[in-house]
Structure 1
Amino acid sequence: MKLQRHGLVVALAAAGAILLAACGSDPNAGGSGAGATSSANSPAVDCNGKAGLTAEGSSAQKNAMDVFAQAYQAKCANSKIAYNPTGSGAGVKQFTAGLVDFGGSDSALGSAESGPAATRCQNNPAWNLPLVFGPVAIAYKVAGADSLTLDGETAAKIFNGRITTWNDPAIAALNSGVTLPAAPINVVFRSDDSGTTDNFQKYLKASSKGAWTQDAGKKFTGGVGSGAQGSAGVAQAIAATEGSIGYVELSFAQDNELGIAKIDSGAGAVELTDANVGKAIAGVTVTGQGNDLVLDLTKTYAEPPAGSYPLFLATYEIVCSKGYDAATATAVKSFLTVAATDGQANLSAAGYAPLPAEFQQKLLTAIQAIA
């Protein structure tokens, strides 16, 4: 089934009404859905912590956070969360400065970020908890091209300026029967520090057979194109200019009615669907230690399972393992517990892949260990 946002408002309203009627603030109640635990198995939620949580960061998870916020308030009627989608770089900085309760980042903390984050946590480690899996679309607007297939090598050459026109032979070879114009390619990239950019460039580096010679990182390094602020800005810029292509989370591509390229990893074109993304996520391994759940996506990018769509990111919630005051620790744990269970039910409708079952228990174990 394709990931779709259509009907999200109705689905959320219905889900909220059911939860409010059935759960109230009962700590043992919970919803169920694809990838989420049933109410019988959901961990207890303590609704007596800090009433107003604050968080900031990844714009890629903004729509997921809206889903989680509604599930959280349905579970804990007097509790709210304010999430500011300013980008991964800003989220890490705000968390490290102690200005928000947790940060959202599409990349795990780097070595230069871990020390300041630990200082913010009263000299305790900060943990990277993967809560949201978001497919990244290579989105485009090309008149007459209702279908577009790219592989890692061709995509890399587009985004570093080695392929500059839509009818280039390399693109044509992957798109038999599709009429592509002899028009320039307009690349659009994220101008702000972005974990989406980091993951996209890691994908290009891993999958392009050496065609991507630039670095990865939260700044776009391709050297071509025009920048736009945030995921919404990139999608709007592509939609506004014929012949444009960029990388953006699925929900933003859908909202702007953009074309979404299929990816050929060597065994044929693969469409971006729930099932195809799930095949790729299932092969990812955890490389972090203990409850620091850092994921290794590079191998999946380079050698995805057959029939899988390999371009996705994991958004981490950056939290203190210890160091919160008691009320904040209680609220952070409660929100993340609801997000990892009840909150997973409506993620597919919002453009995300529900949390894989193999990660859910590890994630809940880490959440409960926050002190």
Structure 2
Amino acid sequence: MNVRKNKLVSLAALGLVGGLALTACGGGSAAEEGNGSDGGGAAGGGYAELTGNLAGAGASSAQNAQTAWTESFMGLVGAEGGDLSVTYDPTGSGTGREQFLSGQVQFAGSDAALDEEELAGSTEVCNGEQAIDLPLYISPIAVVFNLEGVDSLNLPADVIGGIFAGDITKWNDPKIAEANPDADLPDLDVVPVHRSDDSGTTENFTDYLSKSAPDAWTHGPIETWPIEGGQSGDGTSGLISTVEGGNGTIGYADASQAGNLGIAAIQVGEEFVEYSADAAAKAVDVSPRAEGREENDIVFDLDRTTTESGVYPIVLVSYLVVCGSYADAAQGEAVKEYASYITSPEGQQTAADNAGSAPLTEELSTEVHEAIDGITVG
């Protein structure tokens, strides 16, 4: 069961109609006046009109990209005479969605798309319009480890599943040794490290385990870690710090924040594939769109079991969660311009340079900008 669905009940009880009232209909943004793929306001000359504050929260995986995006976007706005402050709080995907659905922030970043109940609840803060998910950040999830004397590892899916399920407990376990015949594996406890917060990275990682190693990982795809005890870290940075602080530790995190930790190669078919932006992009290319979604709600059903050469299947697509309609015209225009910028070739290159992510394809970028153009403001 997806534990995210249970949270909407409590949110509704608190009154989703409060907060910032991010709702309305009518109007269009400066992004609609120009070519959205060129960055919205820059093309339409609308940055000078942007003022006030724009707040977002969510996935910590894209923290490096969001930092680069907010800084560069505010620079562009300021250069045209606008005065807009854009902030992003890397609270984690689950908290970011909660804050968006309760009207505390105008957009969210999430490594897991809104589920059906969240989409239904979003109409309360989007003036009867559902929120939409827009892919903005494609990145591999690295299986990171800190094991003295071992610099590289090959790990099949069932071994990863066994480690994180708590069934493989020693680094010299025969299953690990079989995939790493040249490694000097110690008789040392394996210490799996998980996220302590509600995490879209966790949901993507466990989705991979449940589909690629269903016998080893029986807990399904889940956003909140299902096994009690063990070591954990809050957010991506917290998990990385925990892995760095021990010997024999292993965890999972957005590859852009792996630092100096070891990173395992993952078995795909008959080969072991190292993470890369290109290999992550290939995983999206071979994956179909999720069924049952509105045309402007762009969500992928990632193929975790592909055997195609060169594909890295432990990948996350981080989504920008925005309203389909904003009551406050100034906030709505700001959301549209920021969304247009970060999903433009310029914005995607900024993320690639600062976070190592895979840029959206030209076709996907065009589709995303059509969805952004469709957002109405007061």
In structure 1, runs of 5+ residues without a counterpart are: 1-24, 31-35
Instruction: Report the counterpart of residue 304 of structure 2 in structure 1.
Output: 301
Q: Does 1:44 align with 2:51?
A: no
- Alignment map for 1:97-246 (pairs within 5 Å): 97-223=102-228, 225-246=230-251
Please give the per-residue CA displacement for 1:19-63, whole angstroms capped at 9, x wherever unaligned: xxxxxx999999xxxxx95689x8536222343210011111111
- The total of aligned residue pairs comes to 338
2:279 to 276, 280, 303: 276
Please give the per-residue CA displacement for 1:237-287, whole angstroms capped at 9, x wherever unaligned: 000000000011112212xx1000000122211111222222222222222
Please give the per-residue CA displacement for 1:271-304, whole angstroms capped at 9, x wherever unaligned: 112222222222222223210112111xx21225
C-alpha separation between the residues in 1 aligned to 2:220 and 2:68?
Answer: 34
Q: Do the aligned partners of residues 266 and 209 (structure 1) sit closer, same or farther apart at CA in structure 2, a change above 3 Å counting?
A: farther
- SS state at 2:137 partner: strand
Q: Is the 8 A contact 2:92 2:199 kept in 1?
A: yes
- SS state at 1:167 partner: coil
- SS state at 1:294 partner: coil
Q: Is the 8 A contact 2:50 2:77 kept in 1?
A: no
Instruction: Report the counterpart of residue 270 of structure 2 in structure 1.
Output: 267
- SS state at 2:62 partner: helix
What one-letter code is carried by the residue in structure 1 that aligns with 2:275? L
What one-letter code is carried by the residue in structure 2 that aligns with 1:347? A
In structure 2, runs of 5+ residues without a counterpart are: 1-29
- SS state at 2:123 partner: helix
Percentage of matched positions with identical amino acids? 34
Instruction: Report the counterpart of residue 348 of structure 1 in structure 2.
Output: 352
What one-letter code is carried by the residue in structure 1 that aligns with 2:183? V
Instruction: Report the counterpart of residue 72 of structure 2 in structure 1.
Output: 71
- SS state at 2:162 partner: helix
Deviation at 1:232, TM superposition (A): 0.2
Q: Do the aligned partners of residues 252 and 328 (structure 1) sit closer, same or farther apart at CA in structure 2, a change above 3 Å counting?
A: same
- Alignment map for 1:13-92 (pairs within 5 Å): 44=44, 46-47=46-47, 48-77=49-78, 78-92=83-97
Please give the per-residue CA displacement for 1:42-94, whole angstroms capped at 9, x wherever unaligned: 85362223432100111111111112113312321132311011111111111
- SS state at 2:113 partner: coil
Deviation at 1:105, TM superposition (A): 1.1
- SS state at 1:119 partner: coil
C-alpha separation between the residues in 2 aligned to 1:54 and 1:101?
Answer: 6
Q: Is the 8 A contact 1:50 1:330 kept in 2?
A: no
TM (normalized to structure 1)? 0.85
Q: Do the aligned partners of residues 158 and 55 (structure 1) sit closer, same or farther apart at CA in structure 2, a change above 3 Å counting?
A: same
What one-letter code is carried by the residue in structure 2 that aligns with 1:303? T
C-alpha separation between the residues in 1 aligned to 2:363 and 2:32?
Answer: 24
Deviation at 1:223, TM superposition (A): 4.6
Deviation at 1:209, TM superposition (A): 4.5
Q: Do the aligned partners of residues 189 and 322 (structure 1) sit closer, same or farther apart at CA in structure 2, a change above 3 Å counting?
A: same
C-alpha separation between the residues in 1 aligned to 2:342 and 2:237?
Answer: 23
Instruction: Report the counterpart of residue 252 of structure 2 in structure 1.
Output: 247
C-alpha separation between the residues in 1 aligned to 2:66 and 2:365?
Answer: 17
Q: Do the aligned partners of residues 311 and 270 (structure 1) sit closer, same or farther apart at CA in structure 2, a change above 3 Å counting?
A: same
Deviation at 1:175, TM superposition (A): 0.9
Q: Do the aligned partners of residues 365 and 85 (structure 1) sit closer, same or farther apart at CA in structure 2, a change above 3 Å counting?
A: same
Q: Is the 8 A contact 2:273 2:310 kept in 1?
A: yes
What one-letter code is carried by the residue in structure 2 that aligns with 1:51? G
- SS state at 2:105 partner: coil
Q: Is the 8 A contact 1:53 1:331 kept in 2?
A: yes
RMSD: 2.4
Deviation at 1:183, TM superposition (A): 0.4
Deviation at 1:356, TM superposition (A): 2.5
- Alignment map for 1:292-331 (pairs within 5 Å): 292-297=297-302, 300-331=303-334
C-alpha separation between the residues in 2 aligned to 1:29 and 1:126?
Answer: 23
Q: Is the 8 A contact 2:283 2:313 kept in 1?
A: yes
What one-letter code is carried by the residue in structure 2 that aligns with 1:360? S
